[in-house]
Structure 1
Amino acid sequence: MSRKSGFIQEFKKFILRGNVMDMAVGVIVGGAFTAIVTSLNQDILTPVLAIFGGTDFSNLYVKLGSGDTAPVLMYGNFITAVINFLITAFVIFCLVKFINKLGDTLHHKEETPAAPTTKKCPFCKSEIAIDATRCPHCTSKLDEQ
């Protein structure tokens, strides 16, 4: 029984890790984003391309055989899926590029280093307060600099 509960505890630990939760959120957001890109392609881009002599790819197919039960290859749907993929990849590329550029801009701000708060005793090499006039470790009198 303890072997089974150990497995369950290990599974809970795995599921509750941050990266697994991040991945789950990414999958959900990705699904919603895919619906947006599919709508962009089918409802906006395809009709615009049709105005300029383009074709609605979803109507392209090849019937393999004769009769009502013959299999049909809907290669137009495949072309539409490839276009959706390319649009999605392009938008994600642009987003990642923008986020990386934004991160670089934020990380490259020049920060002035903080003033030192300690110094080393020239006699015993202990770390002491910057404004000390005597070393608390070796009691040597320090020159003011």
Structure 2
Amino acid sequence: MSFIKEFKEFAMKGNVMDLAVGVIIGGAFGKIVTSLVDNILMPLIGLFTQGKNFNDYFIELDKSKGDAQTLADAKAKGIAVFAYGAFIQSVIDFLIIAFCIFLLVKFMNKLTRRKDEGPALTTEQLLTQIRDELKKK
């Protein structure tokens, strides 16, 4: 079997294609969640933090190059910083994405269970099944 033919069989397997679609959709979903956090949630949190952008919480590690008011200003001046606000925002992004994926998986599991179970049986049908099982014994 040639290398190209073997690679083609691998690449065209259903799982590989599903994974590719999942990665692409996941990337787009991540952008949506990041926008949700940056543009909706963080401004609301900013109300409680005196309007300061959460990304601008940092500690300057190098005071010799002057003071910076924002993280962008610190980076532009080449000041070494400990940017804990950006890290916390990334953690918030992750938690929101994880929660949304949890809800999606929970919803999909619920749909799968319903499809597998089929239509619900009436009381009469259940009693008939029990009677038939007891007769067999």
Relative to the length of structure 1, the TM-score reads 0.67
Amino acid at match of 2:102: F
Amino acid at match of 1:84: D
Q: Distance in 2 between matches of 1:35 and 1:69?
A: 28
Shift of residue 37, structure 1, vs aligned partner: 0.3
Q: Distance in 2 between matches of 1:14 and 1:73?
A: 45
Kindly indicate whether structure 1 or structure 2 has the higher relative contact order, using CA contacts under 8 Å at least 6 residues apart.
Answer: 2
Superposed CA deviations along residues 29-62 of structure 1, whole A, max 9, x for unmatched, are: 00000000001101001111222x1463211112
- Say if 2:115 is the partner of 1:101: no
Amino acid at match of 1:88: I
Amino acid at match of 2:90: A
Shift of residue 70, structure 1, vs aligned partner: 3.2
Q: Distance in 1 between matches of 2:54 and 2:108?
A: 34
Match of 2:55 among 42, 54, 58: 58
Q: Structure 2: any 5+ residue segments left out of the alignment?
A: 66-76, 122-137
Q: Distance in 2 between matches of 1:7 and 1:104?
A: 41
State the secondary structure of the residue aligned to 1:105. helix
Match of 1:22 among 10, 13, 18: 18
Q: Quick one: percent identity of the two aligned structures?
A: 49
Is residue 46–residue 54 contact of structure 2 (8 Å, CA) maintained in 1?
A: no
Corresponding position of 2:73:
none
Corresponding pairs, count: 107
Is residue 57–residue 84 contact of structure 2 (8 Å, CA) maintained in 1?
A: yes
Q: Distance in 1 between matches of 2:45 and 2:54?
A: 11
Matches within 5 A, 1:27-46: 27-46=23-42
Corresponding position of 1:131:
none
Q: C-alpha root-mean-square deviation of aligned residues, in Å?
A: 1.9
Q: Distance in 1 between matches of 2:59 and 2:91?
A: 18
The structure with the largest alpha-carbon Rg is 1
Amino acid at match of 1:17: K
4+ residue runs of structure 1 moved beyond 3 angstroms?
none
Match of 2:96 among 87, 98, 104: 87
Corresponding position of 1:135:
none
Corresponding position of 1:78:
87
State the secondary structure of the residue aligned to 2:85. helix
